[in-house]
């Protein structure tokens, strides 16, 4: 877990031990302290991309020895923070972000895990709306990017098809129930969940929207709400 912001930028990485539920900082640190970054992983490595003052650096965390490095070829094509990221077994995808003051991007960069190179997979692989502070979920076939901000809070969900690397809005019904940014997301094989978020002070949300992968419809289960309305949170799953 790359700690992002505590009144100053930091490069600390904390490790959560699942067996005893204790945390400790590891010797591995990000090569630059920064906030607003995004992360993807495969079975061997974790990758932290972007963040800070419009960074393009991708740091690699080696799970076997808990060391970090910054592969020379692995850099985002555009420096930015506030991206969202999803991955499958072969690639990690970093979508959207805030590359400069008052500028939003819809670019999706693909990190090839085997070669650790980054490219824009195709001109068609862009979000339908440029935005930042969005969240991402995925299953084996698709990645979904929901919410965000581009001058207005967004409820759009875009679907990235991993096989063709094209992006579309899957259906008019596939929208968040509330437009918001600074939300978090988790998924299993059947559903993606988008929780919390922020729409400008004092509007924080406790809503959790559920995306059904099979029908690509959204519902907000009545009992599934955060215990406290909040934004700019993070999420994990087992």
d(CA 190, CA 172): 20
| Residue closest to 128 by CA, chosen among 175, 197, 81 | 175
d(CA 80, CA 91): 19
- The CATH classification number of 1-126 equals 2.120.10.80
Q: Residue ranges of the domains in the chain?
A: 1-126, 135-238
Mean pLDDT by 10 residues, the chain (238 residues): 54 91 89 92 95 88 94 93 96 96 96 96 90 97 98 97 94 91 97 97 96 95 93 90
User: What per-residue confidence (pLDDT) applies to 4?
Assistant: 40
For the entire predicted model, the pTM comes to 0.93
């Amino acid at each position: 877990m790359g700690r992002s912001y505590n009144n100053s930028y930091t490069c600390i990485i904390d490790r959560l031990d699942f067996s005893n539920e204790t945390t400790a900082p590891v010797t591995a640190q990000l090569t630059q302290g920064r906030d607003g970054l995004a992360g993807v992983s495969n079975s061997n490595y974790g990758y932290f991309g972007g963040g800070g003052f419009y960074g393009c650096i991708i740091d690699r965390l080696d799970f076997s020895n808990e060391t970090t490095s910054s592969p020379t070829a692995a850099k985002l094509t555009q420096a930015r923070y506030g991206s969202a990221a999803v991955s499958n077994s072969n690639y990690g995808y970093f979508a959207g972000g805030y590359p400069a003051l008052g500028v939003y991007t819809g670019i999706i960069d693909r990190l090839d895990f085997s070669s650790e190179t980054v490219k824009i997979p195709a001109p068609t692989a862009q979000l339908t709306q440029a935005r930042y502070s969005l969240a991402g979920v995925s299953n084996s076939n698709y990645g979904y990017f929901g919410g965000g901000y581009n001058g207005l809070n967004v409820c759009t969900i875009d679907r990235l098809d991993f096989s063709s690397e094209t992006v579309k809005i899957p259906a008019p019904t596939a929208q968040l129930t509330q437009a918001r940014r600074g939300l978090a997301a988790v998924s299993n094989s059947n559903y993606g969940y988008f929780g919390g978020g922020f729409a400008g002070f004092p509007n924080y949300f406790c809503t959790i929207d559920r995306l059904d992968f099979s029908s690509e419809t959204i519902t907000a289960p009545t009992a599934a709400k955060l215990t406290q309305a909040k934004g700019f949170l993070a999420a994990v799953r087992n």
